[in-house]
Structure 1
Amino acid sequence: MNIYLTSGTYDYLRKKYESEFSKETLLLMQDETSDRAILLHESQTPSLFQEPRSYDILFSDGVLENKGFITMNHIPVNEENKPIFEHNMLHYFTSHPNRTMTAIRFLRPRKGDTYILFCLWEEKASYIKWKQQPENANAPIGKNSEKSWNSSQHSIFNGKPYFVQLTIPEEVES
């Protein structure tokens, strides 16, 4: 299974791909602070997009639905540390079963160095409640400063990890 991402304004992406929503697994997500949007295509076939950012799914749990709140951690990892990073993340996911999120995807870039931890939540309140639980304080999911990654991982980064929050507008929900 593959994940493809493309970016643009919300209105442009909605109009361009509206006819495909019922045929494909597509999530149209809007940045909470702008009109910027990301369209996600999960498929075993080639992407619908002309120039997608392509990812392999290393870990998958839950079904992607066109409703809810999304968190995306973008983590640039240098080449020599990718195997260790993947191993540690897969260990985390298998030792901490998902009981709160609607879906989660751990994505490896086909080009470049930035992995994505994609989480779909029922609503923003679900994410906030999950993040406030003490057992999730050091989880690699959610808004984290570099200090919240353990010190042995600092040397694996190619750059500073960053975090975005997106919503699926009600007009797109299925």
Structure 2
Amino acid sequence: MNIYITSGTFNFMKIKKDKHPAEKILLMQNAETTVLLHETTSKTIFASPRKYEVVGGTGELPESGYVVMNNIPVSEEGRPVFEHRFKNISGFIEKEPGLVALRILRPIHSETYVILTIWEKQTNFLSWKNSSSFEQAFHNNGSNSPVTNSSQKMFSGEAYMTQYTLVKDTDE
């Protein structure tokens, strides 16, 4: 399974999504941009997207909800350890109230992995972020934590988070 991501203006992205109703495409936006995410086992409909391979996850991608993308630059030599540790994260998060879907995305032509979570609403994400499960998953110094002091060599840059709201299809 692959995920392709592209961005642009809302009107252009909406037209692109509407032209392909049989495809699993999510339309999402925040204050700065509009993004389309295409999950497929075949080729994408996008001209020049960011490309990812799904290496882990749970749940079905919904048409509505709150999307959080943790973007994490990982060095070439750090990839195997990073993937192993993040595949274990689903045990910390999959039973969280309001979590709808999780995808661990390996970049095809870059070094920035994306940990994609989709929540029923923003408050579900904020509750998890302030929970002990979040602390265990991301800040525990145990060997199952994907981010530990000893793993700093695996990162090639600063991680950052992007957040979006999924735009429901509406008949206009």
Into which bin does the TM-score normalised by the smaller protein fall?
A: 0.7 to 0.9
Q: Is the 8 A contact 2:92 2:133 kept in 1?
A: no
- Maintained 8 Å contact 1:138/1:149: no
Identify the match of residue 160 of structure 2 among 159, 162, 166.
Answer: 162
Indicate conservation of the 8 Å contact 1:4/1:55, yes or no.
yes
CA–CA distance in structure 2, aligned partners of residues 111 and 72 of structure 1:
18
- 1:155 alignment partner, SS class: helix
* Residue in 2 that maps onto 1:8: 8
Kindly state the Cα deviation for residue 53 of structure 1 after the two structures are TM-superposed.
1.2
Cα distance change on mapping 1:104 and 1:172 into 2, 3 Å: farther
Q: TM-score, normalised by structure 1?
A: 0.86
Are the aligned partners of 2:92 and 2:134 in contact in 1 as well (CA < 8 Å)? no
CA distance in 2, matches of 1:162, 1:127: 16
- 1:99 aligned partner, one-letter code: K
CA shift, 1:23, in A, is: 0.8
3-state SS in 2 of match to 1:67 = coil
How far, CA to CA, are the matches of 1:105 and 1:37 in structure 2? 20
Q: Which residue of 1 aligns with 2:95?
A: 99
Q: Which runs of 5+ in 2 are unaligned?
A: 140-145
Per-residue deviation, 1:97: 5.4
CA distance in 2, matches of 1:110, 1:165: 22
1:149 deviates by: 3.4
Amino acid at match of 1:96: F
Pairing 1:67–2:64 present: yes
Map residues 29-108 of structure 1 onto 2, 5 A cutoff.
29-31=28-30, 33-34=31-32, 36-93=33-90, 95-96=91-92, 98-100=94-96, 101-108=99-106
* Structure 2: distance between partners of 1:51 and 1:102: 28
Distance between the aligned counterparts of 2:93 and 2:138, measured in 1? 14
What residue in structure 1 maps to residue 25 of structure 2?
Answer: 26
Counterpart residue number, 1:124: 122
CA distance in 1, matches of 2:110, 2:167: 30
1:136 and 2:151 equivalent? no
Q: Percent sequence identity over matched residues?
A: 33
The root-mean-square deviation of aligned C-alpha atoms, in Å, is 2.0
Normalising to structure 2: TM-score of the pair? 0.87
Judged with a 3 Å threshold, the aligned counterparts in structure 2 of structure 1 residues 172 and 158 are, in CA distance, closer, same or farther, namely: farther
| 3-state DSSP of counterpart to 1:3 | strand
